[in-house]
Amino acid sequence: LTERFARDHSDARTGYLEALESSRYHALLDALHGLDADLPLTRKASKRATAFLPGAVGNAYGDLRRAVEVAEHTDLGPGRDRALHAARKKAKRARYAAEAAEPVLGKSARRLAKKIKKVQGLLGEHQDSVVARQFLRELGASGHLVGCNGFTYGLWYAEERQAARDAETALRPAWRKASKGRYHRWTGV
């Protein structure tokens, strides 16, 4: 593990140092510095925040709700893992939308963000397990090819699989709470 991570770290460090020195990165910085002088605003920018934000948060929340429904109806396996990861990304978007609306909309947005944060955390735990299990399979297979015993990786894999199951089990009641009307009714969804 130490050798593998040292090699990965070295490769990643080389890559990001090259990226920070690239002309593409400097062009991005120049574009960002010029952006504030001439912001490309849409018609929605002229709306009052209290009129616009509930719908924007509602759209993000609705996307999350649909993603969770898809995941719930997907059979166990890689397809479900992908569906739960998609739901995690939607949860992040919905949470950040609610958090961004909090200064204008107050307690309602804060309460919704808090409930979604719990859902997002559980989806994150699940995704961490998916990634860890893939990595453990790779380590076990490469170790086997050079004559190492992969038993420990198998045990670790089983622990990660259980962690994913635990996260999914906890997700159901967390989502039931987050999807109660009192938390999102104000969004119009």
Tens-binned pLDDT, residue by residue, of the chain (189 aa): 788 789 889 999 999 999 999 999 999 998 888 887 777 788 878 888 999 999 999 999 999 999 999 999 999 999 999 999 999 999 999 999 999 999 999 999 999 999 999 999 999 999 999 999 999 999 898 888 888 888 999 999 999 999 999 999 999 999 999 999 999 999 999
Alpha-carbon distances, residue 59 vs 67, 69, 80, 159 (angstroms): 12, 15, 23, 37
- CB atoms under 10 Å from CB of 85, counted, come to 18
Dihedral sign, Cα of residue 52, residue 58, residue 64, residue 66: negative
* Amino acid, res. 147: G
Q: Are 39 and 172 in contact (CB under 8 A)?
A: no
Alpha-carbon distances, residue 167 vs 130, 156, 162, 189 (angstroms): 11, 17, 9, 26
- Extract long-range pairs of 15-19: CB within 8 Å, 24+ residues apart: none
Cα atoms found within 13 Å of the Cα of residue 132, Cβ hemisphere only = 18
Give the pTM: 0.84
Q: What is the pLDDT of residue 38?
A: 75
Q: How big is the chain by its Cα radius of gyration, in Å?
A: 22
Q: Are 123 and 91 in contact (CB under 8 A)?
A: yes
